[in-house]
Structure 1
Amino acid sequence: MVTGADRGVGLSLVKALLEQGYHVFAGQYLQENNEHLEQLKTVYDQQLQVLTLDISDGDSVQQAVEAIAACTDRVEILINNGAILGDMKMTVQDTLDFEEMEQVFRVNTLGSLRMSNGLIESILRSDSKLIVNISSEAGSIGTCWRNSWYAYCMSKAALNMQSQLIHNQISAQGGKVMVVHPGHVQTYMQGQLDTTGSLTADESAESIMQQIENRLKPDYGQEELTLIDYAGNTLPW
Protein backbone atom coordinates (compact mmCIF):
# COMPACT_ATOMS: atom_id res chain seq x y z
CA MET A 1 0.00 0.00 0.00
CA VAL A 2 1.40 3.37 -1.04
CA THR A 3 -0.17 6.70 -0.09
CA GLY A 4 0.35 9.88 -2.11
CA ALA A 5 0.67 7.82 -5.28
CA ASP A 6 -0.60 10.51 -7.68
CA ARG A 7 2.88 11.67 -8.69
CA GLY A 8 6.45 12.17 -7.50
CA VAL A 9 8.11 9.63 -5.23
CA GLY A 10 4.82 7.90 -4.45
CA LEU A 11 4.11 7.17 -8.11
CA SER A 12 7.69 6.02 -8.63
CA LEU A 13 7.44 3.68 -5.64
CA VAL A 14 4.25 2.20 -7.09
CA LYS A 15 6.06 1.55 -10.38
CA ALA A 16 9.04 -0.03 -8.62
CA LEU A 17 6.84 -2.32 -6.51
CA LEU A 18 4.85 -3.42 -9.56
CA GLU A 19 8.07 -4.21 -11.40
CA GLN A 20 9.07 -6.43 -8.49
CA GLY A 21 5.83 -8.38 -8.75
CA TYR A 22 3.88 -6.93 -5.83
CA HIS A 23 0.13 -6.41 -5.90
CA VAL A 24 -0.08 -2.69 -5.15
CA PHE A 25 -2.84 -0.55 -3.67
CA ALA A 26 -2.15 3.02 -4.77
CA GLY A 27 -3.75 5.82 -2.77
CA GLN A 28 -4.75 8.64 -5.15
CA TYR A 29 -5.64 11.97 -3.55
CA LEU A 30 -6.59 14.04 -6.60
CA GLN A 31 -10.04 13.20 -7.90
CA GLU A 32 -9.38 13.71 -11.60
CA ASN A 33 -8.09 10.86 -13.72
CA ASN A 34 -4.36 10.31 -13.39
CA GLU A 35 -2.81 9.44 -16.75
CA HIS A 36 0.29 7.92 -15.13
CA LEU A 37 -1.68 5.55 -12.91
CA GLU A 38 -4.01 4.78 -15.81
CA GLN A 39 -1.01 3.83 -17.97
CA LEU A 40 0.30 1.58 -15.22
CA LYS A 41 -3.15 0.00 -14.90
CA THR A 42 -3.12 -0.96 -18.59
CA VAL A 43 0.18 -2.80 -18.09
CA TYR A 44 -0.38 -4.20 -14.58
CA ASP A 45 -4.15 -4.62 -14.56
CA GLN A 46 -4.13 -7.64 -12.22
CA GLN A 47 -1.51 -6.16 -9.88
CA LEU A 48 -2.64 -2.57 -9.41
CA GLN A 49 -5.68 -1.26 -7.59
CA VAL A 50 -6.12 2.52 -7.37
CA LEU A 51 -7.98 3.82 -4.32
CA THR A 52 -9.32 7.33 -3.85
CA LEU A 53 -7.69 8.37 -0.58
CA ASP A 54 -7.47 11.52 1.53
CA ILE A 55 -5.30 10.53 4.48
CA SER A 56 -6.36 13.65 6.39
CA ASP A 57 -9.93 12.33 6.51
CA GLY A 58 -10.83 9.42 8.78
CA ASP A 59 -13.78 8.26 6.68
CA SER A 60 -11.67 8.20 3.52
CA VAL A 61 -8.99 6.13 5.25
CA GLN A 62 -11.62 3.72 6.60
CA GLN A 63 -13.05 3.23 3.12
CA ALA A 64 -9.56 2.44 1.80
CA VAL A 65 -8.92 0.00 4.65
CA GLU A 66 -12.22 -1.75 3.90
CA ALA A 67 -11.40 -1.92 0.19
CA ILE A 68 -8.06 -3.54 0.98
CA ALA A 69 -9.68 -5.97 3.43
CA ALA A 70 -12.11 -7.02 0.70
CA CYS A 71 -9.12 -8.18 -1.38
CA THR A 72 -6.68 -9.55 1.20
CA ASP A 73 -6.16 -10.11 4.90
CA ARG A 74 -2.49 -9.15 4.81
CA VAL A 75 -0.39 -6.18 3.75
CA GLU A 76 3.31 -6.87 3.32
CA ILE A 77 4.48 -3.25 3.16
CA LEU A 78 2.73 0.01 3.99
CA ILE A 79 4.54 3.05 2.60
CA ASN A 80 3.25 6.24 4.20
CA ASN A 81 4.40 8.69 1.55
CA GLY A 82 1.56 11.20 1.29
CA ALA A 83 2.54 14.68 2.55
CA ILE A 84 2.09 18.39 1.96
CA LEU A 85 4.53 21.22 2.53
CA GLY A 86 2.78 24.28 3.95
CA ASP A 87 4.32 27.74 4.20
CA MET A 88 8.11 27.89 4.02
CA LYS A 89 8.74 31.60 4.57
CA MET A 90 7.04 32.86 7.74
CA THR A 91 9.11 33.06 10.95
CA VAL A 92 7.94 33.50 14.52
CA GLN A 93 8.08 37.28 13.94
CA ASP A 94 5.49 37.05 11.16
CA THR A 95 1.77 36.33 11.27
CA LEU A 96 1.63 32.55 11.14
CA ASP A 97 -1.25 30.64 9.54
CA PHE A 98 -2.18 28.14 12.24
CA GLU A 99 -5.11 26.67 10.31
CA GLU A 100 -2.76 25.75 7.50
CA MET A 101 -0.35 24.22 10.04
CA GLU A 102 -3.14 22.09 11.46
CA GLN A 103 -3.92 20.79 7.96
CA VAL A 104 -0.26 19.90 7.40
CA PHE A 105 -0.27 17.95 10.68
CA ARG A 106 -3.53 16.21 9.69
CA VAL A 107 -1.83 14.98 6.54
CA ASN A 108 1.84 14.49 7.38
CA THR A 109 1.56 13.18 10.93
CA LEU A 110 -1.97 11.98 11.62
CA GLY A 111 -2.49 10.75 8.06
CA SER A 112 0.28 8.19 8.34
CA LEU A 113 -0.92 7.16 11.81
CA ARG A 114 -4.46 6.65 10.48
CA MET A 115 -3.09 4.32 7.82
CA SER A 116 -0.83 2.40 10.18
CA ASN A 117 -3.61 2.11 12.75
CA GLY A 118 -6.14 0.91 10.20
CA LEU A 119 -3.86 -1.67 8.59
CA ILE A 120 -1.75 -2.81 11.53
CA GLU A 121 -3.34 -6.23 11.97
CA SER A 122 -3.08 -6.95 8.24
CA ILE A 123 0.55 -5.85 8.34
CA LEU A 124 1.36 -8.11 11.29
CA ARG A 125 -0.28 -11.09 9.55
CA SER A 126 2.08 -10.72 6.58
CA ASP A 127 5.58 -12.09 6.09
CA SER A 128 7.32 -8.71 5.72
CA LYS A 129 5.42 -6.86 8.50
CA LEU A 130 6.92 -3.55 7.36
CA ILE A 131 5.80 0.07 7.77
CA VAL A 132 7.86 2.63 5.85
CA ASN A 133 7.33 6.25 6.89
CA ILE A 134 8.70 8.74 4.38
CA SER A 135 10.04 11.50 6.63
CA SER A 136 12.58 14.25 5.92
CA GLU A 137 15.83 15.75 7.07
CA ALA A 138 13.63 18.75 7.84
CA GLY A 139 12.23 16.74 10.76
CA SER A 140 15.65 16.19 12.29
CA ILE A 141 16.09 18.34 15.38
CA GLY A 142 19.79 17.51 15.52
CA THR A 143 20.51 19.05 12.13
CA CYS A 144 17.92 21.85 12.16
CA TRP A 145 19.19 25.05 10.53
CA ARG A 146 15.93 26.66 9.39
CA ASN A 147 14.06 29.50 11.09
CA SER A 148 10.80 28.85 9.23
CA TRP A 149 9.00 25.87 7.60
CA TYR A 150 7.14 25.45 10.90
CA ALA A 151 4.38 23.15 9.67
CA TYR A 152 6.56 20.80 7.62
CA CYS A 153 9.49 20.54 10.03
CA MET A 154 7.32 20.06 13.10
CA SER A 155 5.00 17.56 11.40
CA LYS A 156 7.93 15.45 10.22
CA ALA A 157 9.58 15.55 13.66
CA ALA A 158 6.25 14.30 15.06
CA LEU A 159 6.19 11.58 12.37
CA ASN A 160 9.62 10.46 13.60
CA MET A 161 8.30 10.14 17.16
CA GLN A 162 5.25 8.29 15.87
CA SER A 163 7.56 5.84 14.13
CA GLN A 164 9.45 5.17 17.34
CA LEU A 165 6.23 4.58 19.28
CA ILE A 166 5.01 2.08 16.67
CA HIS A 167 8.41 0.39 16.63
CA ASN A 168 8.27 0.01 20.41
CA GLN A 169 4.87 -1.71 20.09
CA ILE A 170 5.35 -4.09 17.16
CA SER A 171 9.03 -5.03 17.17
CA ALA A 172 8.43 -7.85 19.67
CA GLN A 173 5.81 -9.24 17.26
CA GLY A 174 8.22 -9.24 14.34
CA GLY A 175 6.98 -5.90 13.06
CA LYS A 176 9.41 -3.57 11.35
CA VAL A 177 9.46 0.21 10.92
CA MET A 178 11.62 2.34 8.66
CA VAL A 179 11.92 6.13 8.69
CA VAL A 180 13.41 7.41 5.43
CA HIS A 181 14.44 10.83 4.13
CA PRO A 182 13.94 10.55 0.34
CA GLY A 183 16.53 13.21 -0.55
CA HIS A 184 16.06 16.54 -2.30
CA VAL A 185 13.74 15.31 -5.02
CA GLN A 186 12.50 16.98 -8.17
CA THR A 187 8.86 16.69 -7.17
CA TYR A 188 5.63 18.66 -6.77
CA MET A 189 5.60 19.47 -3.05
CA GLN A 190 5.19 23.18 -3.83
CA GLY A 191 2.41 22.67 -6.38
CA GLN A 192 4.72 22.70 -9.38
CA LEU A 193 7.78 20.71 -10.33
CA ASP A 194 10.81 21.69 -8.26
CA THR A 195 13.68 21.30 -10.71
CA THR A 196 16.33 22.26 -8.14
CA GLY A 197 16.28 18.79 -6.59
CA SER A 198 19.37 16.63 -6.95
CA LEU A 199 17.35 13.44 -7.48
CA THR A 200 14.53 12.50 -9.80
CA ALA A 201 11.55 10.77 -8.24
CA ASP A 202 12.56 7.51 -9.92
CA GLU A 203 16.10 7.75 -8.55
CA SER A 204 14.83 8.40 -5.03
CA ALA A 205 12.34 5.53 -5.24
CA GLU A 206 14.98 3.14 -6.56
CA SER A 207 17.23 3.95 -3.60
CA ILE A 208 14.36 3.64 -1.11
CA MET A 209 13.48 0.24 -2.56
CA GLN A 210 17.08 -0.84 -2.00
CA GLN A 211 16.81 0.21 1.66
CA ILE A 212 13.55 -1.74 1.96
CA GLU A 213 15.22 -4.79 0.45
CA ASN A 214 18.05 -4.47 2.98
CA ARG A 215 15.58 -4.13 5.86
CA LEU A 216 13.76 -7.30 4.84
CA LYS A 217 16.90 -9.46 4.77
CA PRO A 218 16.88 -12.15 7.47
CA ASP A 219 20.35 -11.15 8.64
CA TYR A 220 19.43 -7.48 9.18
CA GLY A 221 21.01 -6.92 12.58
CA GLN A 222 20.08 -3.40 13.65
CA GLU A 223 17.63 -3.41 16.57
CA GLU A 224 17.44 0.35 17.12
CA LEU A 225 15.20 2.47 14.92
CA THR A 226 17.01 5.30 13.16
CA LEU A 227 16.24 8.04 10.66
CA ILE A 228 18.06 7.16 7.45
CA ASP A 229 18.36 8.84 4.09
CA TYR A 230 17.68 7.25 0.70
CA ALA A 231 21.28 5.98 0.56
CA GLY A 232 21.10 4.33 3.98
CA ASN A 233 23.09 6.94 5.92
CA THR A 234 21.91 7.55 9.49
CA LEU A 235 20.74 11.08 10.29
CA PRO A 236 20.37 12.62 13.76
CA TRP A 237 16.88 12.48 15.24
Structure 2
Amino acid sequence: MSYIVLITGASKGLGYSLSELYLSKGDYVIATYRKNLENLEKIKDNPNLLLYKMDVADENSVKDAFEFIKGKVPHIDILINNAAVYLEDKTKTIENVDIEKAIQTLNINSIGPLRVLKYFFSLVERGNKKLIINVSSEAGSISNCWRDREYAYCMSKSALNMLSAILQNYSRNKGIKVLAIHPGWMRTDMGGPNADIPPEEAAEGIYNLSMKEWDINDKNIYMDYNGNLMTW
Protein backbone atom coordinates (compact mmCIF):
# COMPACT_ATOMS: atom_id res chain seq x y z
CA MET A 1 0.00 0.00 0.00
CA SER A 2 1.24 3.48 -0.80
CA TYR A 3 0.65 6.43 1.51
CA ILE A 4 0.21 10.18 1.35
CA VAL A 5 2.91 11.74 3.53
CA LEU A 6 3.27 15.37 4.63
CA ILE A 7 6.79 16.41 5.67
CA THR A 8 7.58 19.90 6.98
CA GLY A 9 11.03 21.46 6.74
CA ALA A 10 11.81 19.28 3.75
CA SER A 11 14.33 21.40 1.85
CA LYS A 12 17.44 19.85 3.41
CA GLY A 13 18.77 17.57 6.13
CA LEU A 14 16.41 15.02 7.62
CA GLY A 15 13.34 16.46 5.93
CA TYR A 16 14.87 16.08 2.49
CA SER A 17 16.14 12.57 3.26
CA LEU A 18 12.67 11.57 4.43
CA SER A 19 11.07 13.02 1.30
CA GLU A 20 13.50 11.19 -0.96
CA LEU A 21 13.02 7.91 0.92
CA TYR A 22 9.22 7.92 0.94
CA LEU A 23 9.21 8.75 -2.77
CA SER A 24 11.54 5.81 -3.43
CA LYS A 25 9.01 3.55 -1.69
CA GLY A 26 6.24 4.66 -4.03
CA ASP A 27 4.49 7.03 -1.63
CA TYR A 28 3.04 10.44 -2.50
CA VAL A 29 4.95 13.16 -0.66
CA ILE A 30 3.83 16.67 0.22
CA ALA A 31 7.07 18.47 1.05
CA THR A 32 6.90 21.93 2.58
CA TYR A 33 9.76 24.39 2.85
CA ARG A 34 10.16 27.85 4.37
CA LYS A 35 12.27 29.83 1.89
CA ASN A 36 14.05 28.01 -0.92
CA LEU A 37 13.77 24.56 -2.48
CA GLU A 38 17.50 23.87 -1.88
CA ASN A 39 17.94 20.06 -2.14
CA LEU A 40 14.35 19.64 -3.30
CA GLU A 41 15.49 21.01 -6.66
CA LYS A 42 16.94 17.54 -7.32
CA ILE A 43 13.58 15.80 -7.10
CA LYS A 44 11.09 18.55 -7.93
CA ASP A 45 9.99 16.89 -11.18
CA ASN A 46 8.90 13.66 -9.48
CA PRO A 47 5.18 13.25 -10.28
CA ASN A 48 4.54 11.89 -6.77
CA LEU A 49 5.90 15.05 -5.14
CA LEU A 50 3.85 18.12 -4.23
CA LEU A 51 5.92 21.11 -3.14
CA TYR A 52 4.50 24.01 -1.17
CA LYS A 53 6.08 26.97 0.59
CA MET A 54 4.99 27.07 4.24
CA ASP A 55 6.46 28.87 7.25
CA VAL A 56 5.41 27.02 10.42
CA ALA A 57 6.11 30.20 12.42
CA ASP A 58 3.34 32.06 10.58
CA GLU A 59 -0.27 30.94 11.09
CA ASN A 60 -1.49 32.55 7.88
CA SER A 61 1.19 30.67 5.96
CA VAL A 62 0.12 27.36 7.52
CA LYS A 63 -3.55 28.10 6.89
CA ASP A 64 -2.88 29.00 3.25
CA ALA A 65 -0.89 25.79 2.82
CA PHE A 66 -3.75 23.78 4.29
CA GLU A 67 -6.32 25.38 2.00
CA PHE A 68 -4.16 24.56 -1.01
CA ILE A 69 -3.17 21.04 0.01
CA LYS A 70 -6.67 19.91 1.02
CA GLY A 71 -7.71 20.64 -2.55
CA LYS A 72 -4.97 18.37 -3.88
CA VAL A 73 -5.25 15.27 -1.67
CA PRO A 74 -8.21 13.47 -0.04
CA HIS A 75 -6.34 12.82 3.20
CA ILE A 76 -2.93 12.50 4.84
CA ASP A 77 -1.75 9.10 6.07
CA ILE A 78 1.48 10.15 7.77
CA LEU A 79 2.25 13.67 9.00
CA ILE A 80 5.86 14.36 9.98
CA ASN A 81 6.52 17.58 11.91
CA ASN A 82 10.19 18.01 11.10
CA ALA A 83 10.72 21.77 10.64
CA ALA A 84 12.97 23.14 13.39
CA VAL A 85 15.83 25.52 14.11
CA TYR A 86 18.82 25.62 16.42
CA LEU A 87 19.76 29.24 17.11
CA GLU A 88 21.82 28.80 20.28
CA ASP A 89 25.27 30.15 20.97
CA LYS A 90 26.57 27.17 22.96
CA THR A 91 29.00 29.37 24.87
CA LYS A 92 26.27 31.49 26.47
CA THR A 93 25.18 30.72 30.02
CA ILE A 94 21.98 31.92 31.70
CA GLU A 95 23.40 35.38 32.32
CA ASN A 96 23.78 36.03 28.59
CA VAL A 97 20.98 34.02 27.04
CA ASP A 98 19.44 35.65 23.95
CA ILE A 99 15.74 35.99 24.79
CA GLU A 100 14.66 37.00 21.28
CA LYS A 101 16.31 33.92 19.78
CA ALA A 102 14.74 31.81 22.52
CA ILE A 103 11.28 33.12 21.61
CA GLN A 104 11.97 32.46 17.93
CA THR A 105 13.14 28.91 18.71
CA LEU A 106 10.04 28.11 20.74
CA ASN A 107 7.80 29.66 18.09
CA ILE A 108 9.22 27.42 15.36
CA ASN A 109 10.06 24.20 17.23
CA SER A 110 7.10 24.01 19.61
CA ILE A 111 4.30 26.27 18.41
CA GLY A 112 5.09 25.51 14.76
CA PRO A 113 3.99 21.85 15.02
CA LEU A 114 0.94 22.99 16.99
CA ARG A 115 -0.04 25.29 14.11
CA VAL A 116 0.45 22.53 11.58
CA LEU A 117 -1.66 20.11 13.59
CA LYS A 118 -4.39 22.69 14.18
CA TYR A 119 -5.06 22.76 10.46
CA PHE A 120 -3.92 19.39 9.12
CA PHE A 121 -5.24 17.10 11.87
CA SER A 122 -8.55 16.69 10.06
CA LEU A 123 -6.75 15.34 6.99
CA VAL A 124 -4.87 12.80 9.12
CA GLU A 125 -8.18 11.78 10.67
CA ARG A 126 -9.42 10.85 7.19
CA GLY A 127 -6.27 8.88 6.37
CA ASN A 128 -5.61 5.15 6.29
CA LYS A 129 -2.38 4.99 8.31
CA LYS A 130 -3.40 7.74 10.76
CA LEU A 131 0.11 8.46 12.07
CA ILE A 132 1.65 11.69 13.37
CA ILE A 133 5.41 11.84 13.93
CA ASN A 134 6.90 14.78 15.80
CA VAL A 135 10.66 14.91 15.31
CA SER A 136 11.85 15.48 18.85
CA SER A 137 15.30 15.15 20.45
CA GLU A 138 17.05 13.65 23.43
CA ALA A 139 17.49 17.31 24.38
CA GLY A 140 13.81 17.31 25.31
CA SER A 141 14.24 14.70 28.04
CA ILE A 142 13.95 16.25 31.51
CA SER A 143 14.91 13.14 33.47
CA ASN A 144 18.10 12.67 31.43
CA CYS A 145 19.09 16.32 31.14
CA TRP A 146 22.89 16.73 31.30
CA ARG A 147 23.36 20.20 29.76
CA ASP A 148 24.04 23.41 31.67
CA ARG A 149 23.04 25.70 28.77
CA GLU A 150 21.25 25.48 25.38
CA TYR A 151 18.06 26.52 27.16
CA ALA A 152 15.85 27.42 24.23
CA TYR A 153 16.41 24.34 22.09
CA CYS A 154 15.98 21.95 25.01
CA MET A 155 12.88 23.77 26.23
CA SER A 156 11.41 23.69 22.73
CA LYS A 157 11.80 19.93 22.44
CA SER A 158 10.41 19.31 25.93
CA ALA A 159 7.37 21.34 24.92
CA LEU A 160 7.07 19.31 21.72
CA ASN A 161 7.11 16.14 23.81
CA MET A 162 4.24 17.46 25.91
CA LEU A 163 2.34 18.34 22.75
CA SER A 164 2.86 14.76 21.60
CA ALA A 165 1.64 13.27 24.88
CA ILE A 166 -1.48 15.44 25.06
CA LEU A 167 -2.27 14.87 21.39
CA GLN A 168 -1.99 11.10 21.84
CA ASN A 169 -4.53 11.28 24.66
CA TYR A 170 -6.89 13.20 22.38
CA SER A 171 -6.22 11.15 19.25
CA ARG A 172 -6.56 7.68 20.74
CA ASN A 173 -10.32 7.50 20.31
CA LYS A 174 -9.93 8.69 16.73
CA GLY A 175 -7.58 5.83 15.86
CA ILE A 176 -4.60 8.15 15.38
CA LYS A 177 -1.14 7.24 16.70
CA VAL A 178 1.35 9.93 17.75
CA LEU A 179 5.10 9.34 18.09
CA ALA A 180 7.86 11.67 19.34
CA ILE A 181 11.10 10.46 17.74
CA HIS A 182 14.69 11.45 18.51
CA PRO A 183 16.51 11.19 15.16
CA GLY A 184 20.00 10.98 16.63
CA TRP A 185 22.85 13.46 16.32
CA MET A 186 22.91 13.95 12.56
CA ARG A 187 25.46 15.41 10.17
CA THR A 188 23.28 18.28 8.98
CA ASP A 189 23.48 22.07 9.07
CA MET A 190 22.00 21.87 12.56
CA GLY A 191 24.04 18.94 13.88
CA GLY A 192 27.34 19.92 12.29
CA PRO A 193 29.99 17.86 10.44
CA ASN A 194 31.17 15.95 13.53
CA ALA A 195 27.79 14.39 14.34
CA ASP A 196 27.33 10.64 14.63
CA ILE A 197 25.08 9.68 11.74
CA PRO A 198 24.03 10.84 8.28
CA PRO A 199 20.42 12.01 7.91
CA GLU A 200 19.77 9.13 5.51
CA GLU A 201 20.27 6.65 8.37
CA ALA A 202 17.87 8.52 10.64
CA ALA A 203 15.35 8.75 7.81
CA GLU A 204 15.52 4.99 7.26
CA GLY A 205 14.86 4.38 10.95
CA ILE A 206 11.92 6.77 11.04
CA TYR A 207 10.51 5.23 7.87
CA ASN A 208 10.69 1.75 9.40
CA LEU A 209 8.93 2.97 12.54
CA SER A 210 6.23 4.60 10.44
CA MET A 211 5.48 1.28 8.75
CA LYS A 212 4.87 -0.58 12.01
CA GLU A 213 1.47 -1.33 13.47
CA TRP A 214 1.29 0.53 16.78
CA ASP A 215 -0.80 -0.11 19.87
CA ILE A 216 -3.07 2.91 20.02
CA ASN A 217 -3.27 2.65 23.83
CA ASP A 218 0.48 2.45 24.50
CA LYS A 219 1.66 5.70 26.10
CA ASN A 220 5.33 4.89 25.43
CA ILE A 221 5.57 7.15 22.41
CA TYR A 222 8.98 8.84 22.98
CA MET A 223 11.78 6.88 21.33
CA ASP A 224 14.88 7.11 19.18
CA TYR A 225 14.93 6.39 15.46
CA ASN A 226 15.65 2.71 16.13
CA GLY A 227 12.57 2.38 18.31
CA ASN A 228 14.41 2.34 21.64
CA LEU A 229 12.18 3.93 24.27
CA MET A 230 13.33 7.14 25.93
CA THR A 231 12.30 8.68 29.24
CA TRP A 232 10.47 11.97 29.39
- Common fold, TM-score beyond 0.5? yes
CA distance in 2, matches of 1:124, 1:225: 21
Classify 1:208/1:96 alpha carbon distance in 2 versus 1 (closer, same or farther; 3 Å).
Answer: same
What aligned pairs does 1:177-188 form with structure 2 within 5 A after superposition? 177-188=178-189
Q: Give the AA of the match of 1:154.
A: M
Offset at 1:188? 0.8
Offset at 1:18? 0.6
* Maintained 8 Å contact 1:86/1:149: no
Residue of structure 2 equivalent to 1:82: 83
Normalising by structure 2, what TM-score?
0.93
Q: Gaps spanning 5+ residues in structure 2: where?
A: 1-5
The answer to whether residue 46 in structure 2 is matched with residue 40 in structure 1 is: no
Residue of structure 2 equivalent to 1:202: 200
Residue of structure 2 equivalent to 1:235: 230
Residue of structure 2 equivalent to 1:28: 33
CA distance in 1, matches of 2:217, 2:170: 17
Q: Give the AA of the match of 2:177.
A: K
Q: Give the AA of the match of 1:39.
A: K
The answer to whether residue 97 in structure 2 is matched with residue 96 in structure 1 is: yes
CA distance in 1, matches of 2:223, 2:17: 19
Offset at 1:187? 0.5
* Maintained 8 Å contact 2:177/2:216: no
Offset at 1:141? 0.4
* Maintained 8 Å contact 1:85/1:189: yes
Classify 1:4/1:221 alpha carbon distance in 2 versus 1 (closer, same or farther; 3 Å).
Answer: closer
What RMSD in Å do the two structures reach over aligned CA positions? 1.4
CA distance in 1, matches of 2:119, 2:156: 20
Secondary structure at 1:235's aligned position in 2? coil
Secondary structure at 1:234's aligned position in 2? coil
Residue of structure 2 equivalent to 1:7: 12
Q: Give the AA of the match of 2:150.
A: W
Q: Give the AA of the match of 1:226.
A: I
CA distance in 2, matches of 1:12, 1:222: 30
CA distance in 2, matches of 1:9, 1:60: 22
* Maintained 8 Å contact 1:177/1:225: no
Residue of structure 1 equivalent to 2:3: none
Normalising by structure 1, what TM-score?
0.91
Residue of structure 1 equivalent to 2:24: 19
Tell me which stretches of 4 or more aligned residues in structure 1 moved more than 3 Å.
219-222
Q: Gaps spanning 5+ residues in structure 1: where?
A: none
CA distance in 1, matches of 2:64, 2:216: 37
Number of corresponding residues:
226
Work out the percentage of aligned pairs sharing the same amino acid.
Answer: 36
CA distance in 2, matches of 1:83, 1:188: 11
Which residue of the other structure, out of 210, 213, 222, is the alignment partner of 2:211? 213
What aligned pairs does 1:25-174 form with structure 2 within 5 A after superposition? 25-31=30-36, 33-34=37-38, 36-42=39-45, 44=46, 46-87=47-88, 88-92=90-94, 94-174=95-175
Offset at 1:221? 7.2
